[in-house]
Chain A
Amino acid sequence: MSTLITNTFTGKTSAGSIVVTGEGGSTTTNLQQGLNKVWFTLGVDAVQDDSFNCSSVDDDGSGDYGIHFTNDFNNALYSSSIGMTVTGLNDRYMVQSPSKAAGAVEVRLLNTNDGSATESNITHAEMKICGDLA
Chain B
Amino acid sequence: MSVIKVDQIQGSTGTTVTIPSGTTIVNSGTATNFGLADTNSSSSSLTKQWINYKGTDTNAVNDSMNCSSVTDSSAGNYRPVFSNNMDNGNYALSGVSDGRGSGDTPDDGTFVIGTSSTYSVTPSSSTYGVLCCTASNGSRVDLDNVHMCINGDLA
Contacts and interface: CB of A to CB of B under 8 A. Distances in A.
Contacts of A110: 99, 107-108, 135
B66 A29 contact: yes
A33 B50 CA distance: 9
B85 A27 contact: yes
A91 to B, nearest CB: 8
By size class, the interface of chain B is: 35 or more
Given A22-B84, A22-B155, A77-B62, A35 B47 contact: yes
A121 interface: no
B147 interface: yes
Secondary structure class of chain B's binding surface, majority of residues = loop
Given A24-B153, A75-B63, A115 B96 contact: no
A98 B85 contact: no
A23 B40 contact: yes
B110 to A, nearest CB: 6
A64 interface: yes
Interface stretch (B18-26, B30-38, B69-77): B30-38
B104 A24 contact: no
A112 interface: yes
B43 A95 contact: no
A128 B149 contact: yes
B115 to A, nearest CB: 18
B132 to A, nearest CB: 11
Contact of B43 (A2, A29, A98, A108): A29
Interface of B: 35-40, 42-44, 46-48, 50-52, 62-66, 84-85, 87, 94-99, 101-110, 134-136, 144-145, 147-149, 153-155
Given A4-B35, A95-B108, 7 more contacts: A28-B84, A33-B50, A75-B63, A78-B63, A99-B103, A115-B108, A130-B149
Interface of A: 1-2, 4, 20-31, 33-36, 60, 64, 75, 77-83, 93-100, 106, 108, 110, 112-116, 127-128, 130-132
13 contacts: A21-B43, A22-B153, A29-B84, A60-B104, A79-B51, A79-B95, A95-B110, A98-B102, A98-B103, A112-B136, A115-B108, A128-B149, A131-B50
